[in-house]
Structure 1
Amino acid sequence: MARSVLNTFQHIFAQISNASETDLVHNVDLCPPADRKLIQGFTNTVSPVKQRCLHDLIIYQCRQRPNQLAIRSWDGDMTYAELDDLSLRLASHLVTLGVRPETFVLSCFEKSTWATVARLAILRAGGAYISIHASNPPAYLDSVIIRTKTEIILTDSYFADNFRHVVPTLVELSSAWLRSLPRPTDETVCKDVRPDNACLVLFTSGSTGTPKGIIQIHSSYATAIQDYANNFHLSTQTRFLHFDDYAFDISNLEFLVPLILGGVCCVPGPMKTVEDLASQIRILEANIIFLTPTVAIKMEPKDVPGLEIMCVGGEALTKDLVQKWSGHSTRLVNQYGMGEVAVCCAYNDQVDRREGSRIGRPSSGAIWIVDSSSPEKLVPIGGVGEIIIEGPHLSRGYIDSTALRRTEAGFLKVIPRWLSELHPTRSQYRMYRSGDLGRMSPDGTITYLGRKDTILKLDGCRVDALEVEHQARKFLSDKDFIVVDLLGTIDGRADPSLTAFLYLDDHPLSASAVTGQVPSLHDATSNQQAKEMVERIQRGIGLSLPRYMIPTMFILMSWIPRTASKKLDRKKMHVLGQTFYSRVAEEWTKDKNYAKRMRVLPISS
């Protein structure tokens, strides 16, 4: 790393020394030749495209092992022969309803064997499935239906009444009805579907604004799953727990991986506690699972002795989580990905408790680190930049331009020049600009540092919220939490203030999150325990960062809001914080001492 820093300094200094009066600093190349050569080696291998359809890969396993278990579920098991038979009957029926390649079909089920049968049938009919949750608000569902022109929904008796008047055709699945359907003589019910056709559409949660729809294709998933199996050494013995909600992207991995490998998809029954989860893992004999750190930290290794691999993703791994599982036979894997990429982008199966944010090496394609303001500039080894994903596992793109209006992240229209310079033969692959920040280590592994939109601007100064949070966490326990944001508006009254949302696990005001409600917010300086912690944090940050990066306002929260996929919900926190901040601003106008106490806390020099 020291050598890389020296090479970078010399490289930039040489350009400035030889610059003319008309040259711009912006055009200085940041990445020295030595680092380019290293990066070229790290990005040299990209998987070839597997030109197969997902249902063909599963049907192959059905014919290879008809009497073996395909689905182990709380509501009944199913062999590969039964899965083949029932999905074929349903697929033939869907074709008569008009399903064909590039037809989108809604799917809404409680956890059961029938959700898997439905998804496979839609694929065999040539269509693409859109998994939704019955609790999604009407506006969300309307947006999905209108934008995808969906006219058919597959569901079960549990949710059927919710959708009877939503789309023209509702297909209610049951065991008796499926078995009553005629079995077609031709087992290939759709001969026109190709590997580049859509296989599924993934929509974001849609908690704010219009959800973005991502179109995945067969070949992307087929390629990514093959690499996933190779990277994790999976086989026909794979028993993947189908834990995630069907509406989330991980659920696709959870049923496609085991069925394509000839393993078992394990479908748990209703679960309310972590103890229920551990019990289902044991009952179903699952040996691999994907969890968020929030759930994984609560589970006890001794309760799941048969679990061989626990993939964790969505947030950085805490040292307590790594320490808890380090002495156990279960292999802990840090998995990094996004909806725009099939299965995952990177994985780290050598997790270190000191580096919970290290996401390791690429899974199928290559990962590049570029200047966050311009994809045309490679960042040197160790430099912080935006993560760009390249490879055959990228999705086709978005259903429309909704996502493009919301963020700079997206698929690059112009491939950067450095790709053709370093890998002249790789022009056929597309690239995705993730909006995530990261750095590449001298060994080629990648560390995830957070979202690019956590860079805040205060009085013309650039504030890295993640860096402030990192310094603050040195004074907090692993159960505490801090989130830094910019609240207020430039109106002369409630001017912007660098604010820290603080959750203290042992504080009397702290509580468990309540579904459908919002946490309570309090002035952190109005309580002695919280005030002492605030002062410690401010002094600690001041030892490492400039004064303008020290939060001047601290809001104590009863719990930290999270999205449906258990990720930190910064958007909701911002909305709640702005409301709280506006109320505080009114107090400022009445009481100058209150303003002093809230915004300017003592910081030792």
Structure 2
Amino acid sequence: MQMAWAEVNSLARGTESQAFAPFPCETLSRSFERQAASTPDGVAIQLGRERLTYRELDQRSRQLARHLRKLELRPDSLVAVCFERSFDLIIAMLAVLKAGAGYLPIDPSYPVERISMILDDANPSAILTQEALAQRVGRRGSGSVICVDRDRHSIAEQGSHGLDESASADNLAYVIYTSGSTGRPKGVMVTHRNAARLFTSTAHWFNFGPSDAWTLFHSSAFDFSVWEIWGCLLSGGRLVCVPHWVTRSPSDFYKLLAEDRITVLNQTPAAFYQLVQLEEAGVVEELKLRYVIFGGEALNFANLRPWFERHGDQTPQLINMYGITETTVHVTYRPVTAGDSRNETRSLIGVPIPDLRIYLLDSELRPVAAGDVGEIFVGGAGVARGYLNRPELTAERFVRDPFAEGPSMLMYKSGDLARATESGDLEYLGRGDLQVKIRGYRIELGEIEATLADHPSVAQAVVLARRDGPGEPKLVAYIVGKPSASPTAQGLRDFLKARLPEHMVPYAYEQLETFPLTINGKVDRAALPAPREVVHAGPERASMPLEREIGEIWREVLATGAVGLDDNFFDVGGDSLLLANVHGRVQRELKLDIPITDLFEFTTIRGLARHLSTSTATKASRADAQERAQRQRAAFGRRREFHGRDAS
């Protein structure tokens, strides 16, 4: 295996650099067509009880591709796709690639202002969506908006026979936008070659095939979905689309894993810890998992100890894969063992994928000494083309690789810190800048700060990710107001919610007269105070036993002594992970079988207690829960009336 830190930094013992020939690559659409011809009757996509075979997916995507080709798309042009996780999402992505363009995934839960910002920057030639979402993506001068449900009949009239391929492996496959430090998100341009080699270069580790069933758990705008979708469809597997409401309910998702016999599960560590906790609470079903693949954030091996005690470390095999959007999803590979969970406190991320190179360098791009901390630079076939319409930023982050042959070879400056261990492993040490990862999303704190600074009452803004209580790190905003201005926490929250995705909206807002400074005159972030406890309306007594019981659960889960009956769960430090904890305890301790979507809808103690006390049926069927969840999802994601922390 080629380990660049071994040959450049001489940090790994007992490893010999090996030369790898480039893996053969073709477009994603061509690879899919070969797979569809090999397993035409195999199930390609599943949503609930509905299924679509590889033959049907191939035919329907060809019909939509022909419809798109009327727009005279060219290679490297973009077509936006905005759908919930569904058949239409996958058909649209595949159709865009067959038409010769690259797809631009838009999460429909994003605020309209952010969607408009992305569309204005990317300027796609067309937008594929559903009629119910058309108003969220339609804009003046944006190109054609095609609603596949409204236009289904005209699309179905197109021929379903094969198409000539107009794109090459070096053309764009997709552009995914990530957080930007200046307040402007940046689009990462990934080619077919970048994406296709990810699967060929890792095939010897996983041996994915038609007998595998995968979940599509993550948002299409999160690059983990690239691995889920194409890893499954290019190997003949069955892709199970997970409804949004199920991603928010660990118990329902766990049932789905068992009922749909999932073999390949891709999760952020925070999401998987919920499943571990569920099993610890006594919910255990027969699972068919072969692999659990982690990505998106640092993995704490000790949190996996209960899982290993029940399942061992062979079936399923747990794999930690560090990755970056700019280097095409995954960079490293490391199996995790039961011994790691007992003995290893470091965050170890393993060795690079065979066609990638990792360097640990200092600020002068020199290899660091053995055992020293360096910044991770990634070179090789996964390095993306750069940032769309951002040549200066591309030149800053995608730099010439001085350790590779050929002047055109680039490496990506990640901003992540690591050191190499004596055994040849890499120890991940976190960010070296103001980026953080929360629930798998990479967030530029500077983007939140820049957006806050646009508020008419804010003079200065600093945002931190803090862990002052239970659950995952939470965003806290610190504000210095303009003279005679008194911005309120709710006003600032509403301002951000109209402009940023839910996972980028802080839960707490602290107003200071001035920011503490370091000796060098910079903001001393370490000296910023912990957020003060929320001042509640008053010590109102619970009017019914159910309010008191729910209140006790809330206070214990949130680790706070005071929660008002009308306080919103998400405004007093709650997040989706903690809400799942509340859901489990309500079901166990109060003997109430309720869908987790009720907790997203009734987000105060009083509201939830009244709902539960007046409900005539405490055991909602899964079908009823899903139908209600569709309405709640619209409010939660589009009208943004609730305050959940969305990370899918």
Structure number with greater Rg is 1
Q: Deviations over 1:390-438 (max 9, x none)?
A: 1111111111228829xx97111x322xx15xxxx57664211111000
Residue in structure 2 matched with residue 396 of structure 1 by the alignment: 385
Q: 1:183 & 1:61 partners in 2: Cα distance?
A: 22
Deviations 1:128-160 (A, max 9, x none): 011112232333223322222213111123323
Over 6 Å off, 4+ runs: 31-34, 480-487, 491-495, 500-506, 510-516
1:259 CA drift (Å):
0.7
Contact 1:51 1:219 in 2 (8 A): yes
1:275 corresponding residue in structure 2: 251
State the shift of 1:483 in Å: 9.8
Structure 2 residue matching 1:447: 3-state secondary structure: strand
- Aligned partner of 1:361 in structure 2 is 351
* Residue 241 of structure 2 is aligned to residue 255 of structure 1: no
- The answer as to whether partners of 1:437 and 1:451 remain within 8 angstroms in 2 is yes
Q: For residue 308 of structure 1, what is the amino acid of its counterpart?
A: R
Mapping of 1:97-246 within 5 angstroms? 97-165=71-139, 167-174=142-149, 177=152, 181-184=156-159, 187-189=162-164, 191-205=165-179, 209-246=183-220
Picking from 255, 263, 283, the partner of 1:287 is 263
> Which residue is 2:334 aligned to?
348
* Partner of residue 398 from structure 2, selected from 383, 405, 411: 411
TM-fit CA distance, 1:490? 3.9
CA shift for structure 1 position 261? 0.7
What amino acid sits opposite 2:385 in the alignment? R
**C-alpha distance 62-147 of structure 1, shift in aligned 2 (>3 A):** same
User: How far has the Cα of 1:265 moved from its partner?
Assistant: 1.1
Amino acid at match of 1:488: F
Query: 1:545: which partner in 2?
Result: none
The corresponding residue for 2:545 is none
Change (3 A) 1:246 1:207: farther
SS of the residue corresponding to residue 326 of structure 2 reads coil
- 2:515 counterpart letter in structure 1: G
Q: Does structure 2 conserve the Cα–Cα contact (< 8 Å) formed by 1:409 and 1:432?
A: no
Q: Distance in 2 between matches of 1:514 and 1:390?
A: 46
Task: Look up the SS of the partner of 2:266 in the other structure.
Answer: strand
- Summarize the Cα distance change of 1:32–1:152 in structure 2 as closer, same or farther, 3 Å threshold: closer
1:433 maps onto 2:413 in alignment: yes
Q: 1:202 to 1:34 in 2, by over 3 A?
A: closer
Alignment partners' CA distance in 2, 1:380 and 1:485 = 38
Q: Please point out which of 295, 298, 309 is paired with 1:313.
A: 295
Taking a change above 3 Å as real, the CA distance of residues 439 and 156 of structure 1, as seen in their structure-2 partners, is: same
CA distance in 1, matches of 2:515, 2:415: 24
Tell me the secondary structure at the aligned position of residue 50 of structure 2.
Answer: coil
The counterpart of 2:559, out of the listed 507, 510, 517, is 507
CA distance in 1: counterparts of 2:258 and 2:153, whole angstroms: 30
Separation (CA, whole Å) in 1 of partners of 2:557 and 2:288: 32
1:330 is matched with which residue?
Answer: 316
Distance across 1 between alignment mates of 2:562 and 2:319: 31
Contact 2:470 / 2:558 at 8 angstroms: preserved in 1? Answer: no
Question: Does structure 1 conserve the Cα–Cα contact (< 8 Å) formed by 2:77 and 2:124?
Answer: yes
2:535 aligns to what?
none
- Residue 355 of structure 1 and its aligned partner are, at CA, apart by 3.8
In 2, Cα distance between equivalents of 1:45 and 1:478: 47
Q: Is the 8 A contact 1:268 1:284 kept in 2?
A: no
Residue 338 of structure 1 deviates from its aligned partner by 1.1
Please state whether the residue corresponding to 2:330 is helix, strand or coil.
coil
Give the Å deviation of 1:33: 9.6
Q: Does 1:498 align with 2:526?
A: yes
Q: 1:219-258, CA deviations, whole angstroms, 9 ceiling, x for partnerless residues?
A: 1111011123322232222211000011111111111111
Ranked by relative contact order (alpha carbons within 8 Å, sequence separation 6 or more), the top structure is 2
User: Residue 446 in 1 paired to residue 426 in 2?
Assistant: yes
Of 239-248 and 293-302, deviating more is 293-302
- Give the counterpart of 1:52 among 26, 45, 49: 26
CA distance in structure 2 between the aligned counterparts of 1:63 and 1:444, rounded to whole angstroms? 42
User: Is the 8 Å Cα contact of residues 341 and 393 (structure 1) preserved in structure 2?
Assistant: yes
Question: Post-superposition shift, 1:124?
Answer: 0.2
Q: Which segment drifts farther, 491-500 or 192-201?
A: 491-500
TM-score by length of 1: 0.68
CA contact (8 A) 1:89 1:178 kept: no
Task: Rate the CA distance shift 1:428–1:162 in 2: closer, same or farther, 3 A.
Answer: closer
Q: How does 1:572-591 map to 2 (within 5 A)?
A: none
- Taking structure 1 as reference, are residues 280 and 159 closer, same or farther at Cα in structure 2, changes over 3 Å only? farther
The CA deviation at 1:85 is 0.6
CA, structure 1 residues 508+485, in 2 after alignment: closer, same or farther (shift >3 Å)?
A: closer
User: Kindly tell me: are residues 433 and 78 of structure 1, through their superposed partners in 2, closer, same or farther at Cα, counting changes over 3 Å?
Assistant: same
Is 51-60 or 427-436 further displaced after alignment? 427-436
Q: Deviations over 1:98-137 (max 9, x none)?
A: 2221110110111111110110000000010111122323
Gaps of 5+ in 2: 436-465, 479-513, 532-555, 575-642
* 1:512-554 Cα distance to aligned partner (Å, 9 max, x none): 997975749xxxxxxxxxxxxxxxxxxxxxxxxxxxxxxxxxx
Tell me how far 1:446 sits from its aligned partner.
Answer: 1.0
Whichever residue aligns with residue 147 of structure 1, its letter is: D
Contact 1:112–1:267, Cα closer than 8 Å, also in 2: yes
Alpha-carbon shift at residue 313 of structure 1 (Å): 2.3
Deviation for aligned residue 1:50: 2.8
Residues 108, 132 of structure 1: 8 Å contact kept? yes
The one-letter code of the counterpart of 1:507 is A
Deviations 1:262-304 (A, max 9, x none): 1111112332311121122223322112112221111145346
Residue type of the alignment partner of 1:246: S
Q: Is the alpha carbon distance of 1:508 and 1:161 closer, same or farther for their aligned partners in structure 2, counting shifts above 3 Å? A: same
Q: Identify if the C-alpha distance between structure 1 residues 490 and 164 changes in structure 2 by more than 3 Å, giving closer, same or farther.
A: closer
> How far apart, in 2, do the equivalents of 1:342 and 1:286 lie?
24
SS at match of 2:429: strand
The whole-number CA distance in structure 1 between the counterparts of 2:397 and 2:346 is: 26
Letter in 1 for 2:560: P
C-alpha contact (below 8 Å) 2:269/2:295 kept by paired residues: yes
Preserved CA contact (<8 Å) 2:108 2:136:
yes
Distance 2:6 2:424 in 1: 16
TM-score for both structures, normalised by structure 2: 0.64
SS of the aligned residue for 1:188 comes to: coil
Residues in 1 aligned to 2:375 and 2:562: alpha-carbon distance in whole angstroms: 35
State the match for 1:339 in structure 2: 325
CA contact (8 A) 1:335 1:347 kept: yes
Q: Percent identity?
A: 25
Among 488, 491, 503, which residue is 2:515 paired with? 488
8 Å contact 2:46–2:240 — kept in the other structure? yes
